[in-house]
Structure 1
């Protein structure tokens, strides 16, 4: 009986993995063509606001990394 309770305690005491925070950007604030950024997997379509402008979501820091390293035709040699 104690082994069963220990197992249940171990299973239910585990913490969930932290969820990466997301940033939300309107299409007008994105560097370059939003459709191309979606194809590259940098941003995801999120919603369209009441004015009709599409908004996109990205993991925190991805757009700043993209602008610094890959925007403007530079290559990723990492």
Structure 2
């Protein structure tokens, strides 16, 4: 599920909206404030600067799926 979202972010036209809904799902499932802070930082980096690569984004969503953060 999260990998599909990641791929849609890369090619999607409404990146901000997809990010917001996807991150909301991850945060609800994790219930961890620290996770939310990390998600917020990564979302800002991706949306504002467009510097995450496809591989970084997929790794991030894979880690989110398992509740792990590097």
Instruction: Give the structure with the larger helix fraction.
Output: 2
- TM bracket (short chain): 0.3 to 0.5
Structure with the higher fraction of residues in strand conformation: 1
Q: Give TM-score, length-normalised by structure 2.
A: 0.34
Q: Which fold has the larger relative contact order, with Cα–Cα distance below 8 Å and residues 6 or more apart in sequence?
A: 2
